[in-house]
Every structure is written in C-alpha cells, then in structure tokens.
Chains A and B, each alone.
Chain A
Amino acid sequence: GDSVTQMEGPVTLSEEAFLTINCTYTATGYPSLFWYVQYPGEGLQLLLKATKADDKGSNKGFEATYRKETTSFHLEKGSVQVSDSAVYFCALSNTGNQFYFGTGTSLTVIP
C-alpha cells in the first residue's frame, strides 16, 4: 500500500544553518506530495506541495522537489530561523483523496 517514510527526529540546528528533512514514499501511479508544518499548539498547515515528477514546491524559503526516480521529496531550507521551530510532516495523496502522513520530524532552531 501507499506509505511515506520520513527522517526520525528530533533535529536541532543553530540559526542560519542549512536544513534537510528526508522523505521517501511508496505508491503506485502518480501521487501528489505535500509537506505540512505544525507549530506548537496548532493544527497542521500546508507548507508546500508538488503534483508531478520534477515539480518543485516552495514557500517561505522552504523547497522540495518531487523525484520519481528516487521516490523522494526531501524538504530543504538554506537558512533556518528560530521561528521555523515546529514539527514537519511529509504526506502523499494518490488515487483517492485520502492522505498518508509520515511520522513527523521535530525541528528546534536555537539562536
């Protein structure tokens, strides 16, 4: 069945460091891929998405490229800020409208 595997956390970085959170997926066909972010005490918010191979989703300095050949959708940001501290979820949606979420990766950015 469809599934998403993402990097275990927690991740702790200093401000202005480079961020990568790995995400790989298993799915038949052509899923859409998403990154959601959850700030403390809040619900999940869409961060970015990509709907087909080689698409790059981007938002707020974050980027992720849909790589079909490696079945990956890694999240990157060149310079993290304290305000980026949150939990990040990779997800896919395939033939229906049900989502499959990863387990989440907690990021803490220290000044």
Chain B
Amino acid sequence: DAGVIQSPRHEVTEMGQEVTLRCKPISGHNSLFWYRQTMMRGLELLIYFNNNVPIDDSGMPEDRFSAKMPNASFSTLKIQPSEPRDSAVYFCASSFLLRQETQYFGPGTRLLVL
C-alpha cells in the first residue's frame, strides 16, 4: 500500500491567500484525522471524520479553517485567508473505524505563510 498521501509537500504563500491541503487516506480506512504541528504548540488535532462525516472539529482554530471529505478517498483542509501564524506542518492520518485502532500518518505538508 502507498500509505497516506498528502499534497503538496511544501507550500509557500503570502498572507491573505487561500491555501488548500489535500489528503488521500489508506484504501479501506474509514477514519481520517487532520493535525497541525508547531514548535510552540506541539501536535494538535484539528478535526476528524468517520465514514466521511465530521465528528469533532473543536480543534479547528477559527472560521478561516475548513475541512471536507467528499468521499472515502479524499479530504481537503482549506485556510482562507491565510495568516503568518498558520505556518506549521499539517499532517493527515487515517485508520480503520474501530476502537483504539492504530493511526497511520502521511508525510505532512510544510506550510509557510509570509
């Protein structure tokens, strides 16, 4: 299996621009998680989906952030408008929808907002 695929791997943008991060989970997995990692705040869960339905988005920092999962094989995380403080590494992870099942992480998207 190819594992969790994220694109782009690196993104540099200017403040105010829209940013879209993409994730393809492992085939057959039906839970998907978006995380953000920074030096200051560590690893934070932003939102997660079970069977394409958002379950908990309490970690989404503010209305500028939105996430969708239109089907079982694709999810997006959008930031509009972006701000310098959004600079971070964004990880997508997927798992089977079973209690206490292992999560598998993608390589991350390193975002820099100037």
Q: Which residues in A have some Cβ–Cβ distance to B below 8 Å?
A: 31-32, 34, 36, 42-46, 49, 51, 89, 93-99, 101, 103-104
Contacts and interface: CB of A to CB of B under 8 A. Distances in A.
Contacts of B93: 43-44
B105 A93 contact: no
Given A95-B99, A101-B42, 15 more contacts: A32-B100, A34-B102, A36-B105, A42-B108, A43-B4, A43-B105, A43-B108, A51-B100, A93-B100, A94-B100, A97-B50, A97-B98, A97-B101, A98-B48, A98-B56
Contacts of A99: 33, 45, 103
Contacts, number: 49
Nearest to A44: B105
B34 interface: no
Interface residues of B, number: 24
A104 B43 CA distance: 9
Contacts of B98: 97
B25 interface: no
Interface string B58-80: 00000000000000000000000
Contacts of B45: 98-99
Contacts of B101: 93, 97
A99 B48 CA distance: 11
